[in-house]
Structures are given as C-alpha cells and as structure tokens.
C-alpha cells in the first residue's frame, strides 16, 4: 500500500486518465480490477470506466449485463459498501457472473456507492480473486481509504462538464478555512488544535472534509488549491 | 438485538419499518413535540425517501424498541438541507468517511411498562449506540455527525459515549433545542460503551433470525386481533375517497421490488413487462442506460 495515487483533480481529465487511475487503485490496494459508473443529472450524462479485460467488456456489453447486474443496480441504493456476497441471492447475480470465470473475472468483490449533492450517484466496484478469509481481511483493511478514493473519482468525473464545475465550487466553512490557513503556515495538526483550542479529532474531521471539498487527496494539494482559489492566503 | 434495514433488504422488513415510523411519530411528535409531519400515525420525512440505512433495535418478542437513521454526508442529508441553521449559516462538513445520524430514539414506554426500571432503557440505548458505531466502522466510516437534542446529549455523556465536539451551536428548533455533535467510530469508543453497559455479545441478529421472530410474533398476535372479514367491502367504501397521490419514487420502488422479488423467470418477465408498459405510458421514467466508455 505504498504507491501514491495521482490526484485526479489537477489532471486534464479524459477517459484515459480515469482508467489509469483505476489501475493505480488496483496497484495500491492489491486488487485485480476496478470499475466506476456514475450518472450526472445536471449534464444528463452517464459515465463508465473499467479496467476489466476487453473480452469481458465485450461480453458484458453484448449481453446487456448492465441491465441486470446487481452490483450496479442494487448496490447503488445502499449507503454502506456492499460486499457482493450480499447480492448473490439476487436473480441478476448468477446471470451476470455465470460466465465471468471463463474471462478470468471473480465474483469476489464489493461496490462502494457514492451520493453527490445534486442527485448524482456513482459506484466504485473492485474485485480480487482470493480466498474468503483473505478477502475479508483485505476489504476490512482498505475500506476507509477506498471510501475516500470512490468519492474522489466520483467528484472528479461529475465535474467534467462546465456547468457542473461551476455548481461544484468548493464551499468551505470558516473552520475548514482557518485550519487550512494554519496548515499553510506550517503548523502541524496538533499545533492547529492547540492554537484553535479544539481537539485533534476535530481538526482531523474538518481537514478531511476540506480536502475532499477541494477535490484533493492530500493536505498539501488541498492547501495549494485553496490558495489558487483565493480561499486562504499564501504565506 | 440490532438489525440494519436499508434499500437492499427493506422489502423483507416492511413491517419493521412501519413499526419504526410509528415509534418515531410517538417519540418526536407526541412526546418531544418536534415539528415533524405525521400522517396516519407515522412520522416519515423527505430523507426517508432517499434510501437511508436504519439501525433498528428489537426486544426479545420482536418489537421495535429503538432506531436511528444514517445518511452519507456527501449527498443530501439533514444538515445540508434542513438543519443548516444549526451550523450558523456555515456550509456543512462533507466527507466520504463521515455519516450523519438523525432520529435517534428509544421506546421508553414499552421498555418500562412491565415494571422494568430505567435499566432496560439504558441497555436498549447502549445496544443501539453500539450497533450504529459498529455498522459505521465496518463500512469504513471514521466519524458520525449526529443531530440530537440536549436530552440525548446527556444520555450520550452518561453512557461514556460523550461527543468529542460539536459543530455550529445549539438552536431552538420548534419547541426543543437541537445540536450537531461529533462521535468517532473508534474501537476505543465502542469498547467504552460496551464496558458501561456490560454488553459483550454480538449485538447484531441475522436477517433470517429477525424474520423468524417477526413471523412468530405476527402469528401469536393474529390469534388475539380479529382481522376485518370483508376486505372487498372496505375497498369499495374507500373508493368514494379522493385517490391518494402516488409519487414516481413509489412506482419505481414498487417495480424494483417486484423485479427483485421475482422467484422464477416468468415472474421476472412479468415484472419487466409491467415496467415497459409504465414507461410507455409515461408513468415510470425511462431506465438509465449505462454505457461503458474506454
């Protein structure tokens, strides 16, 4: 889990960069495949990116599996990550994954549903061919980070048209701004907590929220972007 | 015992949700006097239509004794849409690993009625807190922001589950004040509540176990309550009433439920045919087509 993810927010965004981001996710979290699908009602667009083998993508499209695949249709209605073992009783699951083995695709996976502020929904699905115990251990370990990554991909994809970008101008609270301002001044999170008289955990939860609102994966990226947008002062 | 009911299993637990909405009506409407809308003895708001997850506590007989509702803060939720005044006009926190919990309540009436003391209430409350924290934690969630009143705030503090901070300020919402409190979903916190309540067992019950319990309870009750004998007469007398408004979401939900509940290919084909007809009639919105790009 040492590889760093390239922050999508700063890249010129095209389909290629999204797919290569999925590759990075797989490399970093020890996964086989990843897929993102999302709908943006503002731009009335549907987006999908996968790093599955071409043969499986063809099979999936030709058989219209997206119309029955419960990892898309059912999982999006949960608020929590949905392990595919929870879906294997549904009618579509057996059909979707019946031939998957032949394409080297496992039915061991999970889907992280994302909800955005404008009725937009997205799903990041990941798979790994391994034993049940191994999967249990891995998914437990990577879920917190994967949650953040899923929202990062979703937000970036949803901002790929001009109208949505204007709508999604980062709305930072005073608290989030002042914490970023002190971080920009070189203070550690502990220092910031002491200066503002708030707990370390409060600093952390606001910093994480501020970072995600700025579509950044790391704090330095968030600071840079906040300065660029004139939300905090360069020091 | 605790069960999570969300959009994926709500078709199996419709009776449980209905009982929960009634409990919320009694607690938030009758007892606390919140300005909530109660229709037909049930308190249901716009956020219940967004497929939230409910953490529901049951007693040994299968009665709902506690509940709380969870939503992601990345999408629409109460603090972003209706409780913004609590945040002093500031934008809400939005994070992939932060959930919002609302409508936390416990049925003190039921828990105290057989001469039970407040001990039963405290146990049910702690079990619900443990269930919520553990569900969030295993979903990769690190923190919960919860909209509560000062009474629940005191309950949290007394149960060794004190919020680590608050966001915004306490504001009068109707007759009672409300506030937004932060709780971490760390093992330390969960262990503290467990130790306080002396709860060491797994608080979650399996879906099958809960379903069996509910079926047993309904069977026992059907002996006592006489069902109306002539349904057709009731429906006919209702026909004079104006038709209720049916929301598009209800129709979509119904169709989805029909498709998901289909046990055979024929049933499934029938359900899909119904969707087709409704789409053609403009009653059901067109289905999304997911197109994969490369």
Contact across the interface for B71 and A78, Cβ inside 8 Å? no
pLDDT confidence of residue B84: 87
Chain A: residue nearest B165 by CA? A202
Report all structural domains of chain A as residue ranges with CATH numbers, in order of start: 8-165 (3.30.450.80), 170-228 (1.10.10.10)
- Selecting from A74, A146, A202 the residue whose C-beta is nearest the C-beta of B164 gives A202
pLDDT confidence of residue A1: 39
pLDDT confidence of residue B292: 36
Cα torsion A194, A198, A200, A205: sign: negative
CA distances from A234 to A185, A223, B178 (A): 8, 9, 38
How far apart CA A150 and CA A148 sit, in angstroms, is 5
Q: Which residues of B touch A90 (CB under 8 A)?
A: 260
pLDDT confidence of residue B293: 37
* Short-list B57, B63, B186, CA closest to B126: B57
Contact across the interface for A81 and B75, Cβ inside 8 Å? no
> B268 or A197, which is more confident?
A197
Helices (H), chain A: 15-29, 54-62, 70-73, 91-97, 132-158, 162-167, 174-184, 189-196, 200-213, 219-228
Burial class (CB in 10 A: 0-12, 13-18, 19+), B253: middle
Listed in sequence order, the residues at least 6 apart from B179 whose beta carbon sits closer than 8 Å to its beta carbon are B86, B147, B148, B149, B150, B153, B166, B168, B169, B170, B171
pLDDT confidence of residue B224: 64
Q: Could you tell me the residue ranges of all domains in chain B?
A: 2-221, 241-294
* Short-list A45, A99, A94, CA closest to A69: A94
pLDDT confidence of residue B198: 96
Neighbours of B270 (CB within 10 A): 13
Confidence check: pLDDT of A233 > 80: yes
Q: Which residues of B touch A198 (CB under 8 A)?
A: 165
> B274 or A112, which is more confident?
A112
Neighbours of B196 (CB within 10 A): 15
> B281 or A9, which is more confident?
B281
Listed in sequence order, the residues at least 6 apart from A208 whose beta carbon sits closer than 8 Å to its beta carbon are A148, B95, B97, B98, B142
A212 is written with which tokens? 């995600």
Confidence check: pLDDT of A113 > 70: yes
Which residues of A, range 106-135, sit inside 8 Å of B by Cβ? Answer: 114-117, 119, 121
> B249 or A155, which is more confident?
A155
Chain A: residue nearest B5 by CA? A78
3-state secondary structure of A46: strand
Contact across the interface for A114 and B164, Cβ inside 8 Å? no
- B61-79 in b/e form (b: 16+ CB < 10 A) is ebbbbbbbbbbbbbbbbbb
Which residues of A, range 137-166, sit inside 8 Å of B by Cβ? Answer: 140, 143-148, 150-152
Contact across the interface for B91 and A171, Cβ inside 8 Å? yes
Contact across the interface for A15 and B165, Cβ inside 8 Å? no
3-state secondary structure of A106: coil
Calculate the average pLDDT of chain A.
90
Domain B2-221 is of which CATH architecture?
3-Layer(aba) Sandwich (3.40)
10-residue averages of pLDDT along chain B (294 residues): 96 96 95 90 96 97 96 96 91 97 94 79 96 98 96 94 96 87 98 96 96 93 61 48 62 76 78 78 59 36
How far apart CA A20 and CA A153 sit, in angstroms, is 12
């Amino acid at each position: 889990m040492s590889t760093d993810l390239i922050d999508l927010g700063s890249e010129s965004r095209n389909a290629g960069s999204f797919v290569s981001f999925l590759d990075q996710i797989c490399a970093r979290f020890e996964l086989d495949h990843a897929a993102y699908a999302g709908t943006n009602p503002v731009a009335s667009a549907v987006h999908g990116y996968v790093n599955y083998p071409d043969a499986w993508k063809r099979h999936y499209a030709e058989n219209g599996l997206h119309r029955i695949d419960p990892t898309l249709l059912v999982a999006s209605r949960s608020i929590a990550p949905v392990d595919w073992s929870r879906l294997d009783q549904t009618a579509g699951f057996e059909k979707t994954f019946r031939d998957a083995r032949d394409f080297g695709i496992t039915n061991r996976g999970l889907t992280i549903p994302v909800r955005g502020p404008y009725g937009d929904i997205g799903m990041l699905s990941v798979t790994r061919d391994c034993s049940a115990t191994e999967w249990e251990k891995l998914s437990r370990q990577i879920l917190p980070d994967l949650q953040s990554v899923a929202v990062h991909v979703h937000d970036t994809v949803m901002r790929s048209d001009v109208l949505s970008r204007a709508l999604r101008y980062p709305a930072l609270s005073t608290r989030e701004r002042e914490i970023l301002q002190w971080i920009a001044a070189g203070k550690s999170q502990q220092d910031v907590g002491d200066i503002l008289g708030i707990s370390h955990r409060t600093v952390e939860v606001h910093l994480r929220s501020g970072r995600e609102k700025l579509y950044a994966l790391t704090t330095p990226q968030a600071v840079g972007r906040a300065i660029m947008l004139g939300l905090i002062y360069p020091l | 015992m605790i069960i999570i009911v969300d959009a994926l299993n709500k078709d199996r637990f419709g009776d449980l949700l209905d009982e929960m909405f009634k409990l919320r009506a009694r607690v938030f409407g009758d007892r606390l006097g919140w300005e909530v809308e109660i229709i037909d003895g049930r308190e249901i708001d716009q956020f219940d239509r967004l497929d939230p997850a409910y953490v529901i506590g049951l007693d040994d007989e299968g009665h709902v004794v506690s509940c709380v509702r969870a939503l992601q803060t990345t999408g629409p939720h109460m603090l972003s849409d209706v409780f913004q005044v609590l945040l002093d006009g500031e934008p809400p926190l939005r994070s992939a690993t932060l959930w919002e919990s609302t409508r936390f309540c416990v049925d003190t009436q039921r828990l105290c009625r057989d001469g039970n003391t407040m001990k039963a209430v405290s146990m049910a409350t702690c079990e619900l807190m443990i269930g919520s924290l553990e569900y969030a934690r295993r979903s990769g969630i690190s923190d919960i922001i919860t909209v509560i009143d000062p009474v629940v705030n005191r309950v949290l503090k007394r149960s060794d589950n004190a919020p680590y901070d608050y966001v915004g300020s306490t504001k009068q919402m109707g007759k009672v004040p409300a506030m937004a409190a932060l709780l971490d979903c760390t093992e330390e916190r969960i262990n503290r509540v467990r130790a306080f309540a002396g709860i060491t067992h797994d608080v979650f019950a399996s879906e099958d176990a809960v379903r069996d319990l509910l079926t047993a309870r309904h069977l026992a009750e059907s002996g006592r309550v006489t069902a109306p004998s002539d349904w057709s007469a009731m429906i006919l007398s209702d026909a004079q009433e104006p038709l209720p408004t049916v929301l598009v979401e209800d129709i979509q939900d119904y169709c989805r439920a029909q498709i998901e509940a289909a046990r055979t290919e024929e049933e499934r084909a029938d359900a899909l045919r119904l969707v087709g007809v409704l789409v053609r009639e403009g009653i059901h919105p067109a289905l999304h087509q997911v197109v994969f790009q490369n």
